[in-house]
Amino acid sequence: MLDRLWSRFWLAVFLATAIPLAASVILGVLLIQTRVESADVQAIARQARTLQAVIADQSTAQRAATQAAVATVGRRLSITSLEALDGELPDDAIAALRTEGVASGYVVSQDDIIFGAARLGDEVVLVQRPYETPVLNWDQWLSWALLGILLAAACAIIVSLLLARNVARPVDRVVRASESLARGRSPLPLPLDGPVELRSLSMSFNTMAQDLARAHDAERDFLLSISHELRTPVAAVQGFAEGIREEVIDTRKAAAFILAESRHLERLIGDLLALARLRAGRFDVRPRAVDLGRIALDAADRCSAAAESLTTHVVVRADPESLAFADPDRVLQITSNLIENALRASPPGSSVSVETAPGRVTVTDSGPGLRPDELQEAFDRYILHDRHKEGGGRTGAAGLGLALVKELTETMGGSVTVASGAGGGSAFTVRLPVSDADALRGDQGAHDGGA
C-alpha cells in the first residue's frame, strides 16, 4: 500500500499533524499539573508562615487547640525542634530552614506528603498533608488525554486525506494516462486542476500526447502514401518488362520509362532511409573545406529534370569565395532538398534562386510564401507537406525534406532559417561553419543547448 504516492503522502501528513497535536495535549496536561503542584507547595508554605505567626503568642493549651483545628481540614500541624526533623524532611529543606527560616516541598515515601515549614525560634512549625495531585488524577485524566489524542488523530486523518487526494490524484491520472499511452492507446486530455506544478505537469502531458498522436497519424499516412506510391511504379515496371519480353513495346521508350520509375523508387527509398535516420537521431558527416558555389551548381544540375518537367528555372548566383567547412555530400543533399522544395512551391514559368556566400546558402522560391504559424513549423516533419496536400498544391515527396535539412545542418554545426516576404516567396538560408574551429564551437553550442 505504501508503494503508492497518495498513501505515502497521506502517512507523512498524518504523522506530521498527529504527532505535534498529541505532543501538545500531553505537554499541556503535564504543564498544568506542574503549575498547580507548584502553586499548592507555595500555598502550604504560606499556611506554615501564617500558623507560625499565630502560634508565636499562644500557650501550650492554645497550640493544642490550633493543632486540632488544623487537623479538621486535612492538615497535620506539629511544633518540634529542628534537630528532630533530620531524616523526616529532605536535607535541602532543613538547610533552607537553618539559613532562610522557611522551606516547602515533597517527601517521597510510602505515604507521600507535601509540607511547609517555618522556624519559630528554636522550634519549627511544620504543616503537612498527604500528597494528592490536585488537578491530574491519572486514572481519570489519562482517558481524557487519550480522547484528545484520538480527536487530534481524526482531524489529522481528515486533513491528510484531503491534501493527499488533491496532490496525488492529478499525479495518479498522469501515471494511468502514461500507462495507457505506453500500450498504444490515446488517453483523454487530463483536466488541469490542483496546484500550479501539477497543472503544469498535466498540461505538459497533454501536449506530449497530442504531439505523439499527431506524429503517429503522420507516420501512418506516410507509410500508406509510400505503399501506394511504391505499388504504382512497381506495377508499371513489371508491365513494361513483360512488354519488352513479348516484344510489343519499343525498347528505348520502355527503358526511359523504367529509368524514370526507378528514380522515383530511389527517391521513395531515400525518404524511408531519411525517416529511419531521423528516428535514430544520428547522421554520419565527414566535414572538410568545400566550395558552396560548386555544390550549388551540382545541385541545380541534379534538379534540372524536375525543373524542366515543372517548367521552372533554377538560377544560381555563386560568390567565388563561397567556402565552408562541412561534408560536401551532405551539403549537396541539403541544397538539393531545398531546391526541390522551392520547385514544388513555385508556379510554372517562374524561377528558383540559389545564392551562395562564405558559409551561407540561400534558396528562394517564387511561391505564395508562408504564414507566420507556418514559419515556426516549417522544419517539422510532414507539416508543410500536409498543408500543401490539403491545399491541392504539388507535393511529390513524403514530407521529410525540410526536417532532414535541419537535422543535417545542425549535425554539421550550422543552422537553418526561413523568411517569407509580404509579397510572396520564401527564402531558406543555411549557415555553415567557415572553419573547423567554427564547426567545433557550433557543435559544442548545440550540445550545451540540449543539456
> Is the residue at 173 inside a domain?
no
Residue by residue, DSSP assigns 8-45 as HHHHHHHHHHHHHHHHHHHHHHHHHHHHHHHHHHHHHH
420: cell is 517569407
- Higher-scoring residue by pLDDT: 26, 361: 361
Higher pLDDT among residues 166 and 319, named by residue: 319
The pLDDT of residue 136 is 52
* 106 plus 65 within the same structural domain: yes
**Domain span at 26:** 5-139
Phi-psi region of 437 (alpha: psi -120 to 50; beta: other; left: phi over 0): alpha
Q: Is 334 exposed, middle or buried (0-12, 13-18, 19+ CB in 10 A)?
A: buried
Q: Which of 234-248, 294-308, 313-327 has the lowest mean pLDDT?
A: 234-248
| 72, part of any domain | yes
Cα–Cα distance measured from residue 326 to residue 286, given in angstroms and rounded to the nearest whole number: 7
Work out how many domains the chain is built from and give that number: 3
* 3-state class (DSSP) for residue 353: strand
Q: Are 290 and 414 in contact (CB under 8 A)?
A: no
Is 155 within a domain?
no
Domain co-membership, 212 together with 333: no
Give the DSSP letter string of 399-429: S-HHHHHHHHHHHTT-EEEEEE-TTS-EEEE
Distance CA 383, CA 279 (A): 17
Neighbours of 181 (CB within 10 A): 16
Question: Long-range contacts made by residues 105-114, C-beta under 8 angstroms, separation at least 24?
Answer: 105/41, 106/41, 106/131, 107/131, 114/40, 114/41, 114/44
Q: Look at residues 282, 304, 333 and tell me which one is the last residue of a structural domain.
A: 282
Mean pLDDT across the chain: 77
The answer to whether position 269 is within a domain reads: yes
- Region 331-349: mean pLDDT is 87
- Which cell numbers hold the place of 145? 488525554
Residue 213's domain is classified under what CATH number? Answer: 1.10.287
Evaluate if residue 432 carries a pLDDT over 90. yes
2 or 122: whose pLDDT is higher? 122
Lowest-confidence segment of 157-161, 275-279, 320-324 by average pLDDT: 275-279
**Same domain, yes or no: 109 and 222:** no
Last residue of a domain, one of 230, 260, 282: 282
* CB contact at 8 A, 304 and 314: yes
Give domain status of residue 289, yes or no. Answer: yes
User: At 445, is the pLDDT very low, low, confident or very high (cuts 50, 70, 90)?
Assistant: very low
My answer on whether 274 and 304 are in the same domain is: no
Whole-number Å distance between alpha carbons of 78 and 97: 15
95/25 same-domain check: yes
* DSSP code for 132: -
The pLDDT value recorded for residue 429 is 94
Confidence of residue 360 (pLDDT cuts 50, 70, 90): very high
Q: Looking at residue 429, which CATH number applies to its domain?
A: 3.30.565.10
Is the residue at 387 inside a domain?
yes
Cell numbers for 283: 547522421
Say what the pLDDT of residue 392 is.
41
pLDDT (tens digit per residue) in 375-421:
766 777 555 554 444 444 444 444 566 777 888 888 889 999 988 87
Both 221 and 322 in one domain: the answer is: no
CA distance 112 to 266: 106
Question: Cα–chain-centroid distance for residue 217?
Answer: 27
303/252 same-domain check = no
Is 273 in the same domain as 327? no
Residues 304 and 424 reside in one and the same domain: yes
Of 119, 87, 115, the closest CA to residue 101 belongs to: 119
Residues linked to residue 114 through DSSP beta bridges, in sequence order: 106, 129
- Rounded Cα distance between 355 and 200, Å, is 45
pLDDT digits (tens, 9 = 90+) for 241-297: 888 888 777 888 778 777 877 876 776 677 667 656 655 555 667 899 999 999 999
pLDDT of residue 451: 33
* Parallel, antiparallel or unpaired: strands 360-364 and 426-431: antiparallel
Task: Confirm whether 150 is domain-assigned.
Answer: no
* pLDDT digit string, tens, across residues 54-108: 888 888 888 888 888 888 888 888 888 888 888 788 888 888 888 888 888 878 7
Alpha carbon separation from 340 to 29, 193, 329, 348, 418 (Å, rounded): 87, 47, 16, 14, 15
Q: What is the rounded distance in angstroms from the CA atom of residue 51 to the CA atom of residue 67?
A: 10
Q: Where among 98, 115, 139 does a domain terminate?
A: 139
Find out whether 358 and 379 touch, Cβ atoms under 8 Å: no
Domain CATH for 80: 3.30.450
Question: Does the residue 168 lie in any domain?
Answer: no
Question: What pLDDT shows up at residue 390?
Answer: 43
Q: Which residue has the cell 529511419?
A: 276
* Total residue count of the chain as it appears in this document: 451
Residue 442 pLDDT greater than 60, yes or no: no
More confident residue, 358 or 150: 358
Record the pTM: 0.44
Strand (E) or helix (H) holding 446:
helix 436-450
* 298 and 322, same domain (yes or no): yes
In this structure, of 16-25, 133-142, 427-436, the range with the lowest mean pLDDT score is: 133-142
Q: How many angstroms separate the CA atoms of 274 and 281, rounded? A: 10
Q: Give mean pLDDT, residues 215-244.
A: 71
Q: Do both 382 and 261 map to the same domain?
A: no
**Same domain for 331 and 404:** yes
- Tracing cell 497550640 back to the chain, one arrives at 63
pLDDT digits (tens, 9 = 90+) for 171-195: 777 777 888 877 777 777 878 776 6
